[in-house]
Amino acid sequence: MEPVGRRAEIPTGSSLLDAAQAAGIGLVSLCGGEGWCESCIVRLAGGELSPVTAAEREVLSAEQLAAGYRLACQAIPTKDVKIEIPPESLATPQRLQVEGMSAQVVLDPPIESVNVVLDPPSFEDMRPDRERLEDALAEAGHANVSLSYPVLIDLSSRLRDLGWSIQVVLQNDQGIAILPPEMPIFGLATDIGTTKLAAYLVNLTTGETSAQTGAMNPQIAYGEDILSRIGYCREHKDGRRVLQARLAATLNDLIRKMCAEADIAADQIVEAVAVGNTAMHHIFAGLDVGQLAMTPYVPTTGQALKVGARDVGLDIASGARVYLLPNIAGYVGADHTSVILATDIWKTDRTSVAVDIGTNTEITLVAQGRLSSCSCASGPAFEGAHIRDGMRAAEGAIERVQIKNDEIRVFTIGGKPPVGICGSGILDAVAEMRRCGILDDKGALQEEHPLVRQTDQLPELVLVPADATGHGRDITLNRKDVNEIQLAKGAIRTGLELLLLESGIGAEQVENFIVAGAFGTYISIPSAIQVGMFPDLPLDCFHQVGNAAGMGAKQALISLERRRVAQDIVKQIKYIELTTHPAFQKQFMRALFL
């Protein structure tokens, strides 16, 4: 079963859902295998399954069926099968996305390493340590090597401690680390999100990921969103340094954790790549951020940036560099560059869209070989903010909602009693409410609908009655909540439409629609289409790729060629500023309708 790569043997007659459960794969099953929901949707990639059932015909569209989609609870293998599980069907216990679409990248790291044995100094040969090492490197075919300052600092004790037999790690002509001979070397890739951090430890010799982990961004304590963190930096003299130091400390925790898991020392990590939105990029790199909150919102730099690991406080080899992928604009950052890199959409001749949904949603359109990008202020509704019963994607959050025959079913993270609703659940809820006629196209609840309850304020939908929740209070949605989702999805759709407008093509021409990022991985694409956030394209145009930004960072870590590609991409991209676009207002008003 892909993408998890798990194999299972099952008794004849078992459904795919049984098989998945036997193999320890957590497939979502809202209806408990009754075949009336579509939460366990999978795709047949090889082999043969039992014929499509009536239940499946009811739930799946003809297009889905034609594309090989089935319900795992209904389909029974008739021979060996290969099954693709879309990310949204996986009840992943890991809510910090650290996996993304894999791409084959040829190993071409910016690092090489040389083993040398030096003659110890004597009264007959009193060359200083640096010159002695440089001579030995020249003999080993590496002339003109200079040692970086952090390496020089400890050179003399290091050479003596290692008994003059060493491995020199080189980046171009710079010696950046000295290790025992033959010791394996590693790299760190990290995706610094406003909310979440993901980190990967990669073996630079094999290209394999040795460990991966994630954490919340500790800067949340200084502001939930980018603007409030920039505000903190502007209002506090040392604000920028405080936020940087907190971030570095948490990254160091992740590094320690991964080193322990892979059983290596932190100074074996000799290179790093970081991506993040422009504000996170700037704060991590120690750059000014005040200008990101001032029109016209320009970054300090749009080029790729190399900073010393020491300069940003990362506890890896002290001579290591951190390579930061280039930013596209003040609100289209290196993380989006990384998504474009990882998904390779820039090199296809198909009309493609890549969208990374968050408080700011970045969109890139590739059409007729040209790239254009924009940033949409989609707001924090999809993170549960501004929604009465909203919450982050955590245990007990409703992440799936289905309404059928006036019956509401919800699915929570961790299968716990519901305590609130997170972004993907709200999106589902709004889509289902609209589909069932509970909402009109302006987002008003239809008071006559049996599921709608009158209150002394606004009419509301009771998603989960008090007696079924974890906290004993009703979980409800009202028009205000729906309007928040309309604003968010409207902003995203507007961004997409303006990119299409600028390129002179229509949404129906999009052949390849990449949805990146943690949130994008969990949403139901049909729901997103239903509410009008995404255009009504065939479902197999859509690809939910998980943390593509992290994948791009890993690619740039192990491949100089990928770094060059990233730099080329950014130069090619035309950035479209939405806030000053003449068609923005009209387009946005239109995009608000459900």
- Count of CB atoms within 10 A of residue 208's CB? 11
Tell which one of 47, 57, 94, 127 touches a copy of itself (CB under 8 A): 127
CA dihedral 293→297→300→302, nearest 10 degrees, is 140
Task: Sketch the per residue contact string, 562 through 591, with a copy of itself: x for CB under 8 A, - otherwise.
Answer: -------------x-x--x-----------
Cβ-proximal residues to 192 (8 Å cutoff; 6+ apart), any chain: 217, 247, 251, 274, 275, 276, 280, 281, 284, 335
Judged by CB, which is closer to a copy of itself: 127, or 350? 127
* Total of chain residues touching a copy of itself, rule CB under 8 A: 44
Query: Is 100 buried (19+), middle (13-18) or exposed (0-12) by CB count in 10 A?
Result: buried
Q: How far apart are the first and last CA of the chain?
A: 36
The token pair that represents 151 in the structure block: 């390496």
Query: Is 238 buried (19+), middle (13-18) or exposed (0-12) by CB count in 10 A?
Result: exposed
Single-letter residue type at 210: S
Judged by CB, which is closer to a copy of itself: 13, or 290? 290
Q: Which residues 263-322 are close enough to bind a copy of itself by CB under 8 A?
A: 286-291, 294-303, 305, 307-308, 311
Q: Is 152 in the site for a copy of itself (CB under 8 A)?
A: yes
Residues 111 and 169: beta-carbon distance below 8 Å: yes
Judged by CB, which is closer to a copy of itself: 129, or 225? 129
Distance in Å, CB of 157 to a copy of itself, minimum: 5
Q: Is 122 in the site for a copy of itself (CB under 8 A)?
A: yes
- Count of CB atoms within 10 A of residue 1's CB? 22
Say how far apart CA 162 and CA 317 lie, in whole Å. Answer: 16
- Helix or strand run (H / E) with residue 261: helix 239-262
Distance in Å, CB of 138 to a copy of itself, minimum: 14
Query: Binding segment for a copy of itself among 64-72, 147-155, 410-418, 426-434 (CB under 8 A)?
Result: 147-155
Judged by CB, which is closer to a copy of itself: 89, or 244? 244
Judged by CB, which is closer to a copy of itself: 330, or 423? 330
Distance in Å, CB of 251 to a copy of itself, minimum: 19
Residues 9 and 21: beta-carbon distance below 8 Å: no
Distance in Å, CB of 296 to a copy of itself, minimum: 5
The token pair that represents 338 in the structure block: 């990384």
Judged by CB, which is closer to a copy of itself: 364, or 412? 364
Give CA 468 to chain center in angstroms: 33
Distance in Å, CB of 354 to a copy of itself, minimum: 21
Query: Binding segment for a copy of itself among 260-268, 323-331, 441-449, 535-543 (CB under 8 A)?
Result: 323-331
Q: Is 157 in the site for a copy of itself (CB under 8 A)?
A: yes
Sign of the alpha-carbon dihedral angle for 417, 423, 427, 430: positive
Q: Is 165 in the site for a copy of itself (CB under 8 A)?
A: no
Q: Is 172 in the site for a copy of itself (CB under 8 A)?
A: no
Judged by CB, which is closer to a copy of itself: 362, or 484? 362
Q: Output the CA–CA distances (angstroms, integers) from residue 539 to 35, 428, 535, 579, in the order listed.
A: 20, 16, 10, 31
Closest CA to 256 of 265, 247, 244: 265
Distance in Å, CB of 246 to a copy of itself, minimum: 18
Judged by CB, which is closer to a copy of itself: 575, or 593? 575
Distance in Å, CB of 318 to a copy of itself, minimum: 11
Judged by CB, which is closer to a copy of itself: 57, or 306? 306
Distance in Å, CB of 31 to a copy of itself, minimum: 50
Say how far apart CA 460 and CA 437 lie, in whole Å. Answer: 14
Judged by CB, which is closer to a copy of itself: 296, or 437? 296
Query: Binding segment for a copy of itself among 4-12, 116-124, 179-187, 218-226 (CB under 8 A)?
Result: 116-124
- Count of CB atoms within 10 A of residue 258's CB? 23
Q: Is 495 in the site for a copy of itself (CB under 8 A)?
A: no
Residues 43 and 68: beta-carbon distance below 8 Å: yes
- Phi, psi angle pair for 402, to nearest 5°: -135, 135
Query: Is 386 buried (19+), middle (13-18) or exposed (0-12) by CB count in 10 A?
Result: middle
Tell which one of 34, 108, 154, 508 touches a copy of itself (CB under 8 A): 154
Closest CA to 503 of 560, 574, 580: 574
Distance in Å, CB of 312 to a copy of itself, minimum: 10
Tell which one of 57, 160, 473, 564 touches a copy of itself (CB under 8 A): 160
Q: Is 404 in the site for a copy of itself (CB under 8 A)?
A: no
Say how far apart CA 304 and CA 280 lie, in whole Å. Answer: 14
Q: Which residues 525-564 are close enough to bind a copy of itself by CB under 8 A?
A: none
Judged by CB, which is closer to a copy of itself: 151, or 345? 151
Residues 255 and 199: beta-carbon distance below 8 Å: yes
Query: Binding segment for a copy of itself among 155-163, 388-396, 405-413, 447-455 (CB under 8 A)?
Result: 155-163
Query: Binding segment for a copy of itself among 73-81, 149-157, 179-187, 527-535 (CB under 8 A)?
Result: 149-157
Judged by CB, which is closer to a copy of itself: 121, or 313? 121
Contacts with a copy of itself, residue ranges (CB under 8 A): 121-123, 126-132, 149, 152-157, 160, 286-291, 294-303, 305, 307-308, 311, 327, 329-330, 575, 577, 580
